[in-house]
Amino acid sequence: MKNKTSHGLKIICLNRKASFNYFFEDLIESGIVLKGSEIKSIRDGKVNITDSYAIEKNGELILINSHIASYKQASYSNHNPTDERKLLLNKKEINKLIGKIQRDGLTIVPTKMYFKRGKAKIELAVAKGKKQFDKRATKKNRDWNRDKARYVRKSS
């Protein structure tokens, strides 16, 4: 999915499932450490961050479970598609995020990946998981808004 927005951002991948499963408290932009074959594959749009999340390891934030497909032309120097990838943040930001996730029930979830001035960036959300009844209410509101829009279109 390659979209261009007015800010010069080229969106590569969205995590729509995250907004359904979590309440977002805070959004943060982060860089990501990538190899050459990974960035080539990302430019082709072959990336999936749906089930990924970030954890703290040795004072750094690591992105787990993101899938960047192998680049066909990379031959022997290809990468592992499900490798752990280091997130690039300031020490102050990392400490702030670690403090937030140590509170009960919070996690760090990527919401979208995009290019900003030629660099691959990832938007992270500090999020709290939704319960089943919250998800039902979200679905109910979404269906009602869709029906309401249909009624307005038919009446006018």
CATH of the domain at 53: 2.40.280.10
Stretch (H or E) spanning 107: strand 106-116
Look at residue 36 in the predicted model and tell me its pLDDT: 85
In a domain, residue 104? The reply is: yes
Question: Distance (Å, rounded) from C-alpha 85 to C-alpha 53?
Answer: 11
**For residue 37, is it within any domain?**
yes
Rounded-to-5 percentages of helix, strand, coil across the chain: 35, 40, 25
Confidence (pTM) = 0.79
How many C-beta atoms surround the C-beta of residue 44 within 10 A? 14
Structural domain contains residue 21? yes
Whole domain around residue 115: which residue ranges? 3-130
Within-domain flag for 52: yes
* Amino acid 74: pLDDT: 79
pLDDT at 37: 85
Q: How many CB atoms lie within 10 A of CB 24?
A: 14
Whether residue 25 is contained in a domain is answered as yes
Burial label for 9, CB within 10 Å (0-12, 13-18, 19+), is middle
Flag whether 72 is in a domain: yes
What is the reported pLDDT for 5?
Answer: 57
Between CA 3 and CA 5, with CA 1 as vertex, the angle to 5 degrees is 15
As given in the structure block, the two tokens for residue 125 are 């959300």
Q: What is the mean pLDDT of each run of 10 residues along the chain (156 residues)?
A: 66 89 91 89 90 91 91 81 90 90 86 92 91 87 93 88
Would you say residue 145 lies in a domain? no
Q: How many domains does the chain have?
A: 1
pLDDT digits (tens, 9 = 90+) for 89-119: 999 999 998 888 887 779 999 999 999 998 9
